[in-house]
Structure 1
Amino acid sequence: MGKRGVLFCGTALWVVAQAAAWGQEVVKVPMVDVIGVSPVPGTGISRDQMPSNVQGLDGDVLDRAKGATVSDLLERRLGSVSLSDTGGNSFQPSLSFRGFNASPVMGEPQGLAVYQNGMRVNESFGDLVHWEMIPTFAVNRADILPGANPVFGLNALGGAMVMDMKTGFSFQGTEMMAAGGSFGRYKAVAQHGAKAENFGFYGGIGHMGEEGWRQRSPSELSQMFGDVEFRGERFTGGLSLSFGNSDLTGNGPSPVELLHNSRSAIFTSPDTSQNRQISLSGRGNLELTDTLSLQGAAYFRNVRHRTLNGDANTAGACSFDATILCSDPNGADEAQLTDINGNTVPVSAKGSGIINRTETNTNSLGASLQLALDKPVWGLRNTLITGLSEDEGHTRYHSESEVGSLQGDRSIGGSGVILGTSTYWTDISAHNRTIGVYFSDTLSLTDRLTLTMAGRYNAAEVVLEDRFGTDLNGRHMYERFNPAAGLTYQLSPELTAFAGYGEANRAPTAAELSCADAAKPCRFPNAFLSDPSLRQVVSRSVETGLRGRSEAADKSWSHAWSLAGFGTQNQDDILFVASGQSTGTGYFRNAGRTLRTGLEASDRGRFGPMGWFVNYSLVRATMDNDVTLRSPNNPGADANGNIFVRRGSPLPGIPMHSLKMGGSYELTDAWLVEMDAAFYSSRRLRGDEAGLGRRLGGYEVFNAETEYKLADFASAFLRVDNLLDRRYESFGLYGSPTSVFSSFSDNQFRTPGAPRSFWAGLRARF
């Protein structure tokens, strides 16, 4: 397809610039499914004109979420979505879609752009997505637009997720829900929406937590969301306020030999994460004429992220002076430890453990403005959109390490001695700035054939300032134009064929650029040591498929299905490579090409009191060139700690096959029962890209739920997760357990999946 490939890809933008008239109610037209395909709210396109296999969660599914999070629902209901319990906390999973990640964990290769009411949710310092900060109860609709998508800016390598939040026009009334369950779980949610003439108001608050099923793993989370919207004859505008605060424990993977003794066992502690975010976002849509409209969005977001992590350590008495501590005593890298004042550390501090603390404080702000012209060209219906956007992030990152000692319960006790030198103390400022200029055009060549074209120019700047020394100082610039194009053809009123091509890019984040030197591996994500440059990641994707929808005139039944094939190649993909000095220590590097190819098939419908859904996905995520990677804890590594990864070798953490299915049945007008199940094939461990060791085994999880109406306004529900109490693991890596357990010889670490658990509660709506 040439260096740039076929011009433009798979994304069309059609502005729906229709404001409600004074005092009029919004009317929902049956079977017209409009997808938001721009970061600016108020712009969208009919699903039938999308040249890709768009998947989503509608309000009915989200309203029945009960104790589930947005990420849980995406995994249960949508194809090509899987979760990895990277950190060991159900509120903070790593989500993979078609082999591209949206994760709260630094070190995961990020590849999805996530938006909430036009606000970019990816944190600028590491492109992280903190899923627990998204209030599920306030999400009105969530869509995943697959494939390299230039319109959504940086990081949309595998697609973009767009969340439309509730307003007083989409939700009216008052609803309250209270639930409790296994392992000390509890959840309470209250929300209210109303509209009065041209104004709509919505507000919601939620609080939840649990003691956790693993040892020493309590978590607590609070969320709030509010929105006010005005709808006039020519202008629609809204303002949203969001707040979240979490205190989570994620004890991560444990050695497999320890898990054989106890599934709830943890390796070391403490391991906590505290997040607090507050954001304000605005949106507007002005109809300048009958054919020309102006849309805009702006946001400000502050996120503070703190971690406290206890690890085993190998410090001990120096070979040349038994009264002071050295790292790697008697080894090739032996060096005496000093505190923040430059004093040597006495052996009384012990050094068998270390407590790492980090704090990341980020202010993000951005704005987008676009014009939409809906006017025929040569007698053909055409919509042209041109826009520009700017996103900035200002981050202050600090980390420090305290000498500790390993206790009998494998927790780490502190000594009060804070270590100095850049290996253990980091203090940096990062400034990210991205400017984008884009356009899109949707041209109806015939009543059945639609051509969509889009393109975006991205210019990104990352500036690092080392506040402790000079090693991290740096200025990095990246730019690229990404094209896209697609076709849809309506074979019949119920059947549509589509095909598309697109490109996108991702600039290396400040966190990656600060830890990209093989000679100076980082205790990631606790310390950064140097600032060499990395190349930006460029993705190119193709997709083709069919979809169909039909519905009875009397609404007694409905049916929808889709079949799609896709492929995406990443150039200069960035991977985190373990150095082997300790678990979690390593560096980022460009590892060449990676390839994701696959197939998606889905079927869903409703017939009378019965509903169902089935989603099958085949995702083959592989290296697309030969490469040598460091993985010294892998038993199959060579004498230098390297593994040779051949082209076609599967990437870690991504199951090739997944199948999700579920059904619901209304036994009576008051009693509903539901069941869903997910099946996943095996996946490789991180650090085993060459496939030299055992895989994580495939597994299946069944869930069941029932809800009974106690009155017109109240109902009771019961949900059972992992009904068959299946033992499984969704994440694993290679590490070294011998620093804590000298009797353990297996270097595999795994995060165990949660056992059977129950949710029960009451819900009332007035």
Structure 2
Amino acid sequence: MFCVNSVRVAPGVRSALAVACGVVLSLLPSMVWAQDVVSDVVVTANREPQPLHKVMADVSVITRDDIERHAGAGVADVLKTLPGFQIVRNGDVYGTSSVYLRGAESRHLLVLVDGVRLDTQSGSGGATWESLPLSEIERIEVVRGPASAIYGSDAIAGVVQIFTRKGQGAMRMTLGLGVGNRGLTQGDVSLSGSAGSWSYSLGGTLSRASGFTARNNTKAGTRASDDDDYRASSAHARLGYQLSARQSFHVNLLSQHSNAGYDASVSSKFDDRSIHDLDTVSAAWVAQWLDAWRSTVTVGQSTSRYETRPSVYITRTEVRNGSWSNQFSWGEHTVRATLEGREDRLKNTSVPADRDVQRAGALGLGYDWQGQDLSVQTSIREDHHSAFGQHVTGSVGAAYDLSAQWRVRGSWGTSFRAPTLYQRFSDYGQPNLRPEQGRTSELGLQYHAGSAQWGVTVFNSRVNDLINYSDAGVCVSTYGCYRNVGRATLRGVELSGAVTLASVRWTGSFNLDDPRNAETDKLLARRSRQHGSVRAETSWAQWMWGAQMQWAGARFDDASNKNRLGAYVLWGVDAQKELTQNWKLILRVDNLTDKRYETARTYSSPGRTVFAGLRWTPDL
């Protein structure tokens, strides 16, 4: 088979690839998307509601049912089941996590919570994935591919937008309790509904676990590694008001706190602690002024704080943003216009107080044309940044219906990521750093007939002016400095789909990536060239049963490609049952075979993980 024999894979992974490719490729004519959301509406692709089947970009949607099945896990654990995603973590759920999409850097993925940007201005930047509370989320939309022409900085690889839970209809309360091995206990409560013109949703979660030993390089003569425990809490609130038949207003609040142990050194006698606090607040006003004119005004702020003890380190990032988006539609034509502003602040002892802020403003325009067989989408955006001035990005995409079943699409776009305040003004920084710049083209083919669909995407990206930590000599530090010295090429083929056979629903994805340092021709660190998953679901004896296999090929832990990390295959099973009208039982086992593997050198990953949860929805 092409997807197995045309690439080099470890022997332990070859059989898994053969099974997956057999499922995914041999049944293409009968496939349906892994997310059964053909009739859904998404807003992340171009900032306005749009039927999923009309979206030019490669999009995935994670629903509340998917999230409940992953109870006790993290947002990154859910994303890694989607095409193109890989994660690296140095411990348990609240360990430092990196999320790679199509081989791009973790900081090149824009993350939004209810329209509010998440980012950190310390280090290389990017969202702190371990601080995102899965239990408070209603839905996640993922857009793969460059989106800077719509969203500005950070969206080189794509966009992940998280929507917190909202209420509608009669008052509804849900109580959840879950337990698992390694001392895991978790409880959550939510209350939602609507009354007249008001809607509301409130919720909170508490969890704790004794954890497991993350460090695996203990040597003779040092203390034995101990389990790294964690405790976490989160809360969310949403209040909405329907101003009129065509206008609505809502406010969202989200808060997460976690305190997790980790072994900074195997010779340490005590655990260090990492403390994360994430708070977001946003308000949105949506108005349909005319049949042809819709506008959305959004303002918000996210605050990300990280602290370590007893070796004290504290860093705090505030990101404030506001936008006014407008959509004008008539017939086959749509014009989009967006004004946006952003302010970043960093409180860090390494950054002077008079250089702890940077600002940006932007104007974005777009034009979409929806013909009978041909659709076109174009976007252009000018960002003006206080650090480096003007930066223009653009994108163009087109889709053509070859027949009632076949559709081909193509797109091209530019993107960028602004340097962080830490990269510019810390002892390791340079004030004159240039933004990282990307250029991506992709081509996709889709087949659909009724509910049967499949798709394949080929992508090619080039990222220039990568900011790497390099040799000393151009900054205060004598150890090393941040510089624009890197270039990367990200190429690959992505395949996803599903099929229903004999009441069993099969879903799968496979990525063949080639993420390389264009200067050295070495593979980028910690990214597998082959990775994917296959899942089967069926209903039997009043239970919903599921089984999943995930695999990743070998990769290297370092840029010089000397420290090899082995390939791995992970198996998992889950089951759900409606015990009564009000009670639901959820069971899950991850890493069923207790596979030992590493995504970062000297850091082990969780072994067999067992979770059992009950959800009670009382009659109110």
What band does the TM-score fall into relative to the shorter chain?
0.7 to 0.9
Shift of the 533–82 alpha-carbon distance from structure 1 to 2, 3 Å rule, reads same
Shift of the 170–57 alpha-carbon distance from structure 1 to 2, 3 Å rule, reads farther
- SS of structure 2 residue aligned to 1:100: coil
For 2:462, the equivalent position in structure 1 comes to 569
* Distance in 1 separating the partners of 2:535 and 2:95: 23
- SS of structure 2 residue aligned to 1:564: strand
Establish whether residue 616 from structure 1 lines up as the match of residue 538 from structure 2: no
Quote how far apart the aligned CAs of 1:238 are.
1.0
Aligned positions of 1:136-155 closer than 5 A: 136-150=134-148, 151-155=150-154
For 1:602, the equivalent position in structure 2 comes to 496
Quote how far apart the aligned CAs of 1:202 are.
1.0
* Distance in 1 separating the partners of 2:320 and 2:270: 35
The sequence identity of aligned pairs, in percent, is 19
For 2:377, the equivalent position in structure 1 comes to 452
* Distance in 1 separating the partners of 2:585 and 2:494: 36
For 1:94, the equivalent position in structure 2 comes to 98
Which of 81, 84, 105 is the equivalent residue of 1:80? 84
Does structure 2 retain, via aligned residues, the 8 Å contact 1:124–1:432? Answer: no
Quick one: which amino acid aligns to residue 100 of structure 1? A
Which of 309, 322, 336 is the equivalent residue of 1:385? 336
Establish whether residue 225 from structure 1 lines up as the match of residue 236 from structure 2: yes
Which of 550, 553, 565 is the equivalent residue of 1:681? 553
Shift of the 542–302 alpha-carbon distance from structure 1 to 2, 3 Å rule, reads same
Quote how far apart the aligned CAs of 1:480 are.
0.8
For 1:240, the equivalent position in structure 2 comes to 252
For 1:503, the equivalent position in structure 2 comes to 414
* Distance in 2 separating the partners of 1:282 and 1:664: 39
Quote how far apart the aligned CAs of 1:119 are.
0.5
For 1:486, the equivalent position in structure 2 comes to 397
Moved over 6 A (4+): 265-268, 425-428
Quick one: which amino acid aligns to residue 359 of structure 1? I
- SS of structure 1 residue aligned to 2:388: strand
Shift of the 577–531 alpha-carbon distance from structure 1 to 2, 3 Å rule, reads closer
Quote how far apart the aligned CAs of 1:727 are.
0.9
- SS of structure 2 residue aligned to 1:567: strand
Which of 530, 535, 543 is the equivalent residue of 2:434? 535
Q: How high is the TM-score relative to the length of structure 2?
A: 0.85
Does structure 1 retain, via aligned residues, the 8 Å contact 2:174–2:190? Answer: yes
Quick one: which amino acid aligns to residue 713 of structure 1? N
Does structure 1 retain, via aligned residues, the 8 Å contact 2:508–2:532? Answer: yes
Which of 381, 384, 398 is the equivalent residue of 2:349? 398
CA distances 1:158-204 after superposition (whole Å, capped 9, x unpaired): 11112233211399622221111111111111112212233221111
Aligned positions of 1:130-529 closer than 5 A: 130-150=128-148, 151-169=150-168, 173-214=172-213, 215-231=226-242, 232-251=244-263, 270-308=271-309, 356-376=311-331, 381-398=332-349, 430-444=356-370, 446-461=371-386, 476-514=387-425, 528-529=427-428
Shift of the 605–116 alpha-carbon distance from structure 1 to 2, 3 Å rule, reads farther
Quote how far apart the aligned CAs of 1:70 are.
1.6
Does structure 2 retain, via aligned residues, the 8 Å contact 1:676–1:704? Answer: yes
- SS of structure 1 residue aligned to 2:486: coil
* Distance in 1 separating the partners of 2:127 and 2:263: 19
* Distance in 1 separating the partners of 2:529 and 2:445: 22
Quick one: which amino acid aligns to residue 667 of structure 1? W
Quick one: which amino acid aligns to residue 120 of structure 2? E
CA distances 1:523-576 after superposition (whole Å, capped 9, x unpaired): xxxxx355453221110000111123444xxxxxx4432210001100111123
For 1:655, the equivalent position in structure 2 comes to 528
* Distance in 1 separating the partners of 2:228 and 2:353: 29
* Distance in 1 separating the partners of 2:61 and 2:101: 13
* Distance in 2 separating the partners of 1:531 and 1:211: 42
* Distance in 2 separating the partners of 1:656 and 1:562: 20
* Distance in 1 separating the partners of 2:263 and 2:433: 31
Quote how far apart the aligned CAs of 1:430 are.
1.1
Q: How high is the TM-score relative to the length of structure 1?
A: 0.69
Quote how far apart the aligned CAs of 1:128 are.
2.8
Establish whether residue 696 from structure 1 lines up as the match of residue 565 from structure 2: yes
* Distance in 2 separating the partners of 1:36 and 1:536: 27
Unaligned runs of 5+ in 2: 1-35, 214-225, 473-478
Shift of the 197–228 alpha-carbon distance from structure 1 to 2, 3 Å rule, reads same
Quick one: which amino acid aligns to residue 86 of structure 2? S
- SS of structure 2 residue aligned to 1:73: helix
* Distance in 1 separating the partners of 2:64 and 2:417: 32
Does structure 2 retain, via aligned residues, the 8 Å contact 1:80–1:618? Answer: no
Shift of the 719–128 alpha-carbon distance from structure 1 to 2, 3 Å rule, reads same
Shift of the 532–284 alpha-carbon distance from structure 1 to 2, 3 Å rule, reads closer
* Distance in 1 separating the partners of 2:471 and 2:548: 37
- Range moving further from structure 2, 387-396 or 427-436: 427-436
- SS of structure 2 residue aligned to 1:616: strand
For 1:664, the equivalent position in structure 2 comes to 537
Quote how far apart the aligned CAs of 1:357 are.
1.7
Quote how far apart the aligned CAs of 1:89 are.
5.1
* Distance in 1 separating the partners of 2:185 and 2:146: 39
* Distance in 1 separating the partners of 2:527 and 2:373: 38
Shift of the 92–157 alpha-carbon distance from structure 1 to 2, 3 Å rule, reads same
* Distance in 1 separating the partners of 2:485 and 2:61: 32
Does structure 2 retain, via aligned residues, the 8 Å contact 1:247–1:274? Answer: yes
Larger strand percent: 2
Q: RMSD over aligned Cα, in angstroms?
A: 2.6
Which of 35, 43, 51 is the equivalent residue of 2:42? 35
Does structure 2 retain, via aligned residues, the 8 Å contact 1:87–1:251? Answer: no
Aligned positions of 1:16-27 closer than 5 A: none
Establish whether residue 123 from structure 1 lines up as the match of residue 120 from structure 2: yes
* Distance in 1 separating the partners of 2:488 and 2:236: 39
